[in-house]
Amino acid sequence: MDLLIKNGTLVTAKSTFKADLAVKNGKITAIGTNLKPEKGTEVVDARGKLVLPGAIDGHTHLAMPFGGTISSDDYFTGTRSAACGGTTTVFDFVLQGQGELMQDAFKRRDKLAAPDAAVDYAFHIGVCDVTEDRLLDSMEDVVKEGVTSFKVFMVYDFGVDDGSFYKVLQKAAKIGGLVGVHAENRDVNNVLVAQYLKEGKTDAWWHYMAKNEKIEGEADVRAINLARMAGTSLYIVHLACKQGVDAVTKARDEGYPIFAETCPQYLNFTNEVYKRERARDYVCSPPMKGKESQDAIWEAIKRGDIATIATDHCPFTRAEKDWGIKTKDGKKGNFTTIPNGCAGIENMYPYILSEANKGRISFNRAVELCATNPSKLFGLDDQKGALEVGLDADIVLYDRKKNVTIRNKDLHGATDHTIWEGAKIKGYPVATYSRGKLVYKDGQFVGEKGYGKLVRCKTLKFKNPQL
């Protein structure tokens, strides 16, 4: 045995109990009481601490080209930041180029990630071009590489139309893939953008208005209908509106395998942020919505109709956010010239666990949302996402009494600001282990660039809404 974590309180999606946990060669090898160290075993006393599975962030955009720049965290700084917030696996998006085979897109991206990642990583394919059969068929080749989840965008110029979306759903059903969707109505969004700009409505509030509750809700409903027509499952990413929550809940009640992810930013902020002085810093897609939507998402979390929480981490610097005032070419900016996205990779688990610590949800539900359900949905439950013998020793020690006020200067990413500045977090991770190796301790990153490994996922089939 290499490591023995003694006297902690283990929290799984289903139960909470006092036990010791042993690790050898990066795997959990025993869970029980009074486990005895062997010669040379490192013993960690976790008395008074919670012992949790490391979080799996199912939605990140590291080094992603967007809005005329590249998101500020690369695979090293992004995964370093993840480790320091108790996240031990990230799922990043590979955006397929026009005419590019998906396995080529995956390999292109893995070349960037492999030398840099500090914790384990996996990929979803952002499907952009299925106009030729060989491109659609390449979904099957990338599944053979262990990349089994896909995302289509219903918005953006690189997004797909409903016909292509339907083809991707059909194909995924055949080959054992899960399709995720960024649901916003592109055509109506484009109309509203043009109208607002013509009327001189240029500030960040109009980003929200052009992507308001109805714009997202309509697309959520349409996406669910398309999945039902194709007879397959669907994963709605970053769900942020009540209409979408209602549609997901209804489809699940009717027995359809429809799953939803939401993000901490939709749980902690409302559209009020777009009235703030630096409203542009909060510009992300979908935008934060009104309080009614925020309440509906929290209720769905409590009911079990939200399956996962992920970050949509996609940071940009202040100077880049300022392109909403003056573009990089020196022209007058507007809400469409602000790169979309916010940082959050280090804040997800601390924030959700803090809400659990305050009693809003149970710690078990927090673990389920941030670790166990993502592992089941993305085909990793034979490797990660729980505290079980045989799984990777991705483990977080959590101190319920350590309170932290978030300051960007204390975070471990590469950007120069955070929408979480000043947020008060009740309880905090004090250590993170990735496959048994300590990568974070008491506010410091102690891991290594390049330690993180590519995780290959199982094929996926969901027949009903239960995971």
Shortest spacing between CB 402 and Zn ion, in angstroms = 30
Shortest spacing between CB 341 and Zn ion, in angstroms = 7
Q: By CB under 6 A, how many residues form the interface with ligand DUC?
A: 9
Residue nearest to Zn ion (CB): 182
Q: What angle do CA 194, 198, 203 make, to 5 degrees?
A: 85
Instruction: Decide which of Zn ion, ligand DUC, none touches 340; Cβ closer than 5 to 8 Å per partner kind.
Output: ligand DUC
Considering only 66, 158, 445, 451, the residue that binds ligand DUC (CB under 6 A) is 66
Nearest to Zn ion of 126, 257 (CB atom):
126
Nearest to ligand DUC of 280, 435 (CB atom):
280
How do 424-434 and 395-405 pair as beta strands? antiparallel
Stretch that binds Zn ion, among 22-30, 192-200, 306-314, 396-404 (CB under 5 A): 306-314
Shortest spacing between CB 59 and Zn ion, in angstroms = 6
- Beta-carbon count within 10 A of 16 CB: 13
Considering only 13, 284, 296, 455, the residue that binds ligand DUC (CB under 6 A) is 284
Nearest to Zn ion of 43, 112 (CB atom):
112
- Beta-carbon count within 10 A of 98 CB: 9
Q: Is 355 in the site for Zn ion (CB under 5 A)?
A: no
CA distances from 440 to 27, 45, 87, 115, 429 (A): 18, 16, 10, 19, 9
Shortest spacing between CB 60 and ligand DUC, in angstroms = 10
How do 27-32 and 16-24 pair as beta strands? antiparallel
Nearest to ligand DUC of 233, 340 (CB atom):
340
Q: How far apart are alpha carbons 399 and 64 in whole angstroms? A: 34
Q: Is 182 in the site for Zn ion (CB under 5 A)?
A: yes
Q: Is 264 in the site for ligand DUC (CB under 6 A)?
A: no
State the binding string over 366-395 for ligand DUC (x if CB under 6 A, else -): ------------------------------
Nearest to Zn ion of 312, 368 (CB atom):
312
Nearest to ligand DUC of 53, 315 (CB atom):
315
Strand partners, 426: 403
Shortest spacing between CB 314 and ligand DUC, in angstroms = 4
Considering only 167, 182, 207, 376, the residue that binds ligand DUC (CB under 6 A) is 182
Q: Is 285 in the site for ligand DUC (CB under 6 A)?
A: yes
Stretch that binds Zn ion, among 158-166, 187-195, 305-313, 421-429 (CB under 5 A): 305-313
State the binding string over 307-346 for ligand DUC (x if CB under 6 A, else -): -----x-x-------------------------xx-----
Shortest spacing between CB 287 and ligand DUC, in angstroms = 9
Nearest to ligand DUC of 245, 314 (CB atom):
314
Instruction: Decide which of ligand DUC, Zn ion, none touches 101; Cβ closer than 5 to 8 Å per partner kind.
Output: none
Q: How far apart are alpha carbons 51 and 10 in whole angstroms? A: 5
Nearest to ligand DUC of 316, 462 (CB atom):
316
Is 11:364 a contact under the CB 8 Å cutoff? Answer: yes
Nearest to ligand DUC of 338, 370 (CB atom):
338
Considering only 6, 59, 61, 412, the residue that binds ligand DUC (CB under 6 A) is 61
Stretch that binds Zn ion, among 122-130, 241-249, 268-276, 307-315 (CB under 5 A): 307-315
Nearest to ligand DUC of 54, 341 (CB atom):
341
Interface positions with ligand DUC (CB under 6 A): 61, 66, 182, 284-285, 312, 314, 340-341
Interface positions with Zn ion (CB under 5 A): 182, 312
